[in-house]
Amino acid sequence: MFDINWATLLLQSAPLIIAVCGETISERVGVVNLSLDGSMLISAMTGFVAAYLTGSALVGFLAAAAVGAFFAFMVSFGSLALRQSQVAVGFVLTLLGDSLSAFLGQDFTRLPGPWVTKLPIPLLKDIPVIGPIFFNQDPMVYFALLLVAASYWWIFHSRPGLELRSAGERPEAAFARGVRVRRLRYLYSMLGGALVGVAGAAYSLDVKIGWAEGLTRGYGWIALAVVIFGGWSPLRGALGVLLLVGVRAWIGIYLQPAAGGADSTVVILNALPWLLMLAVLLVVSGKLTGDLVANAPPWLKRPLARLLLVAPPAALGADLKEN
Amino acid sequence: MKPAGWLERIWPSLPILAALLLTSLLLIAFGTSPAVAFGAILEGVFSTPERMLTALAFWIPLALASVGLLVTFQAGLWNIGIEGQFILGALGASWVALSFQLPAPLQITLEILAGMVGGALWAGVVALFKRWGVHEIFGGLALNNLAIILTNFLIAGPWQPPEGGSFRGTVPFREDALLPLLGSTRFSPLSLLLAALAFGLVVLALRNSAWGLRLKALGHNPRSAFLLGVSSNREALLAMLFCGALAGLGGAVRVLSWFDSLRQSISGGIGYLALMVVILAAFRLYLTPLVALFFASVLSGSIVLQLRTQLHSSLGDILTGVMVLFVLLFGDFGRVRSLFKRKDQEDV
* B339:A288 CB<8 A: no
Residues with Cβ within 8 Å of B291's Cβ and at least 6 positions away in sequence, in order, are B66, B277, B278, B280, B281
**pLDDT value at residue A300:** 82
Q: Which residue in B82, B149, B277 has the most chain A C-beta atoms within 10 A of its own C-beta, making it the best mutation to test that interface?
A: B149
Instruction: Note the pLDDT tens digit of each residue in B92-106.
Output: 999 999 999 999 899
pLDDT value at A277 more than 50: yes
Q: How far is CA B248 from CA B73, B82, B189, in A?
A: 17, 9, 18
Q: How far is CA A147 from CA A151, A191, A198, in A?
A: 6, 12, 12
For chain A, list residues whose CB is within 8 angstroms of any CB belonging to chain B.
34, 74, 77-78, 81-84, 87-89, 91-93, 95-96, 99-100, 102-103, 106, 218, 221, 224-225, 228, 263, 267, 270-271, 273-275, 277-278, 281-282, 285-288, 290, 323
* Residues B62/B292, Cβ–Cβ less than 8 Å: yes
Q: What sign has the CA pseudo-torsion B310, B314, B316, B319?
A: negative
3-state helix, strand, coil in chain A (%, to 5): 75, 0, 25
Q: What are phi and psi of B262, to 5 degrees?
A: -80, 125
pLDDT value at B286 more than 70: yes
Query: 3-class DSSP state for residue B348?
Result: coil
- Say whether the ipTM exceeds 0.85: yes
* Residues A234/A18, Cβ–Cβ less than 8 Å: no
Nearest to A23 by CA among A301, A266, A241: A241
* Residues A264/B110, Cβ–Cβ less than 8 Å: no
Residue with more model confidence, A321 or B261: B261
Which of A78, A224, A278 lies nearest to residue B129, judging by beta carbons?
A: A278
Which of B134, B275, B318 lies nearest to residue A278, judging by beta carbons?
A: B134
* A323:B137 CB<8 A: no
**pLDDT value at residue B3:** 58
Q: Read off the pLDDT of each residue in A199-203 and give the average, rounded to a whole number.
A: 96
Q: Read off the pLDDT of each residue in A59-80 and give the average, rounded to a whole number.
A: 96
**pLDDT value at residue B346:** 41
pLDDT value at A322 more than 70: no
* B348:A323 CB<8 A: yes
Which of A277, A287, A288 lies nearest to residue B138, judging by beta carbons?
A: A277
* A323:B346 CB<8 A: yes
Rounded to whole angstroms, the Cα distance separating B101 from B107 reads 7
pLDDT value at B219 more than 50: yes
Query: 3-class DSSP state for residue A119?
Result: strand
Nearest to A72 by CA among A228, A200, A214: A200
pLDDT value at B313 more than 90: no
Q: How far is CA B290 from CA B59, B78, B283, B287, in A?
A: 10, 21, 12, 5
pLDDT value at B322 more than 80: yes
Which of B133, B135, B139 lies nearest to residue A287, judging by beta carbons?
A: B133
Q: What is the DSSP letter of A118?
A: P
| Bridge partner residues of B169 (DSSP) | B263
When pLDDT is cut at 50, 70 and 90, the band that residue A146 belongs to is very high
CA B295, B301, B303, B304: dihedral to nearest 10 degrees?
A: -170
Q: How far is CA B29 from CA A103, A256, A271, B33, B119, in A?
A: 12, 47, 40, 9, 42
For chains A and B, what is the number of CB pairs under 8 angstroms? 121
Rounded to whole angstroms, the Cα distance separating A76 from A19 reads 17
pLDDT value at A319 more than 80: no
* A99:B321 CB<8 A: yes
* Residues B152/B265, Cβ–Cβ less than 8 Å: no
* Residues A296/A65, Cβ–Cβ less than 8 Å: no
**pLDDT value at residue A182:** 93
**pLDDT value at residue B167:** 62
Q: How many residues does chain A have?
A: 323
**Domain parsing of chain B, residue ranges:** 63-281
Per the rule left: phi > 0, alpha: psi between -120 and 50, beta: everything else, A233 is beta
pLDDT value at B226 more than 70: no
SS (H, E, C) B225-260: HHHCCCCHHHHHHHHHHHHHHHHHHHHHHHHHHHCC
CA closest to B125 among chain A residues: A278
Instruction: Note the pLDDT tens digit of each residue in B133-183.
Output: 899 999 999 999 999 999 999 988 888 877 765 567 888 899 889 999 988
| Candidate from A146-150, A156-160, B182-186, B229-233 with smallest mean pLDDT | B229-233
**pLDDT value at residue B205:** 92
Q: What is the CA radius of gyration of chain B?
A: 22
When pLDDT is cut at 50, 70 and 90, the band that residue A132 belongs to is confident
pLDDT value at B347 more than 50: no
When pLDDT is cut at 50, 70 and 90, the band that residue A321 belongs to is low
Nearest to A71 by CA among A107, A106, A103, A95: A95
Residue with more model confidence, A117 or A159: A159
* Residues A35/A90, Cβ–Cβ less than 8 Å: yes
Which of B26, B139, B146 lies nearest to residue A271, judging by beta carbons?
A: B146
What is the CB-side half-sphere exposure of residue B74 using CA atoms within 13 A? 26
**pLDDT value at residue A200:** 97
Rounded to whole angstroms, the Cα distance separating A134 from A6 reads 9
Mean pLDDT of all residues belonging to chain A:
89
| Candidate from A48-52, B41-45, B160-164, B249-253 with smallest mean pLDDT | B160-164
Q: Which residue in A71, A76, A77, A96 has the most chain B C-beta atoms within 10 A of its own C-beta, making it the best mutation to test that interface?
A: A96
When pLDDT is cut at 50, 70 and 90, the band that residue B344 belongs to is very low
For residue B311, give how far its alpha carbon lies from the nearest alpha carbon of chain A (Å): 8
Q: What are phi and psi of B185, to 5 degrees?
A: -95, 180
Query: 3-class DSSP state for residue A281?
Result: helix
Helix and strand counts by DSSP (H, E) for chain A: 14, 2
Instruction: Note the pLDDT tens digit of each residue in B85-94.
Output: 999 999 999 9
Query: 3-class DSSP state for residue A127?
Result: coil
* Residues A4/A246, Cβ–Cβ less than 8 Å: yes
Query: Helix B189-207 to helix B49-74 angle, to the nearest 10 degrees?
Result: 20
Element spanning B144, H or E:
helix B136-156
Q: Read off the pLDDT of each residue in B276-303 and give the average, rounded to a whole number.
A: 94
Q: What are phi and psi of A138, to 5 degrees?
A: -75, 155
Element spanning A136, H or E:
strand A136-137
The separation between CA B269 and the C-alpha centre of its own chain, rounded to angstroms, equals 8
All residues of chain A having their beta carbon less than 8 Å from the beta carbon of residue B276 are 92, 95
Mean pLDDT of all residues belonging to chain B:
89
Query: Helix A234-258 to helix A219-229 angle, to the nearest 10 degrees?
Result: 120
CA closest to B331 among chain A residues: A82
Query: 3-class DSSP state for residue B173?
Result: coil
Q: Which residue in A27, A33, A103 has the most chain B C-beta atoms within 10 A of its own C-beta, making it the best mutation to test that interface?
A: A103
**pLDDT value at residue A308:** 80
pLDDT value at A318 more than 80: no
Percentage with pLDDT > 70 across chain B:
93
Percentage with pLDDT > 90 across chain A:
62
Q: What are phi and psi of A136, to 5 degrees?
A: -120, 60
Residue with more model confidence, B122 or B218: B122
Query: Helix B49-74 to helix B34-46 angle, to the nearest 10 degrees?
Result: 90
pLDDT value at B227 more than 70: no
Q: Read off the pLDDT of each residue in A13-35 and give the average, rounded to a whole number.
A: 96
Rounded to whole angstroms, the Cα distance separating A179 from A159 reads 12
All residues of chain A having their beta carbon less than 8 Å from the beta carbon of residue B139 are 278, 281
Domains with residue ranges and CATH for chain A:
6-308 (1.10.3470)
